[in-house]
A = this chain, B = another copy of it.
Amino acid sequence: MKKVKLKQERIHVFAPATVANVGCGFDIFGFALHKPGDELELQISDEPGVTIDKITGEVADLPKNIDQNTAGKALQAFYRALKPDFGISVTLHKKMPIGSGLGSSAASAVAAVFALNAMLESPVDKKTLLKYAIVGERITSGASVHLDNIAACLWGGMILVHSKDPIDIVELPVPEDLCCTIIHPQIEVRTKESRLILKKEISLGDAVTQWGNIAGFVAALFRGDYSLLGSTMQDVVAEPARSMLIPHFKDMRQLALENGALGFGISGSGPSVFALTVGPTAAESVGAAVSRFLEREDIGHDVYVSSINTEGPKIL
């Protein structure tokens, strides 16, 4: 059996938050942000196995038990495949909210497997890492795990999940000035519940509308056609149901569009919402307008403005 060789014994990484679905592309589109995101440190030890030593940040009460922790579970899957003669201890700096619709569990899982991979003398490819990250993601989303957040986090940029079986991830181009505003209202929407609200069947007419938008969205990315991009960011499948779980969704959308958003939608299964804009100035305006509105309505919230993160996870 081949010994696993290391380039380093300690690493500190960042993995980004992600927006899944992106308006029209339910379960197939996702993109990565520069902020927020999770940080994670790995330390090689002599004691075999994976242990989570410490969790810091906004949600420090996350379980340290490997089987209940997204980062731990993903890392363990990778560790078991490698069968190394060393152990790994983890410190997770949870720098983004969970249950926000921003791919929090995906960021933790990706940070963990990316970190270990970056320490190896012979790293594995992204597709293999994705499979380990999926093991972690299953803790929150169950058997019907979706790949849009994990793949966007791991690849960076804008990705298409062309197929789940076999797994085929297609990188899509990102127009240079594309920018994003995230508004995270501090209300709770669980991913599982948010999926249960969806109809199991959709009308053929709605499906045709949706795939016209999906095809147009991809063409708009390749052409850098912002007008087409905006007009294709329409979701007739998930948004009509899920937006009912998000207070003032329509008001926020109207404000976003009035302040320069190309399009507006739910990030993943919510409650976070997002707008795409041309450039950061418009993104800041959208954020400010929606923030003022939510303050008046007395709804606590966070606002993030970020260009599209084409790099994905990185070593700090």
Number of interface residues of A (CB under 8 A): 38
The reply to whether the CB of A232 lies closer than 8 angstroms to some CB of chain B is yes
Say which residue of B201, B209, B228 sits within 8 Å of A204 (CB atoms): B201
Q: Are B200 and A200 in contact (CB under 8 A)?
A: no
Q: For the complex, is A198 an interface residue (Cβ under 8 Å from B)? A: yes
Complex-state Cα separation, A85 to B315, whole angstroms: 76
- Whether B207 contacts A162 by the Cβ 8 Å rule is no
Determine whether the beta carbon of A212 is less than 8 Å from that of B161.
Answer: yes
Chain B residues positioned under 8 Å from A207 (CB to CB): 202, 207, 210-211, 237
Instruction: Check A215/B215 contact, CB under 8 A, given A201-B203, A204-B237.
Output: yes
- Once the chains bind, are A210 and B212 in contact (CB under 8 Å)? no
Chain B residues with CB below 8 A from A210, complex form? 207, 211
- Tell me if A76 counts as interface (CB < 8 A to partner B): no
Tell me whether A213 is interfacial, beta carbon within 8 Å. Answer: yes
Instruction: Report which of B27, B170, B203, B216 forms a contact with A216, defined as CB distance below 8 A.
Output: B170
Q: Which residues of A contact B (CB under 8 A)?
A: 25-29, 160-164, 168, 170, 172, 198-204, 207-219, 222, 228, 231-232, 237
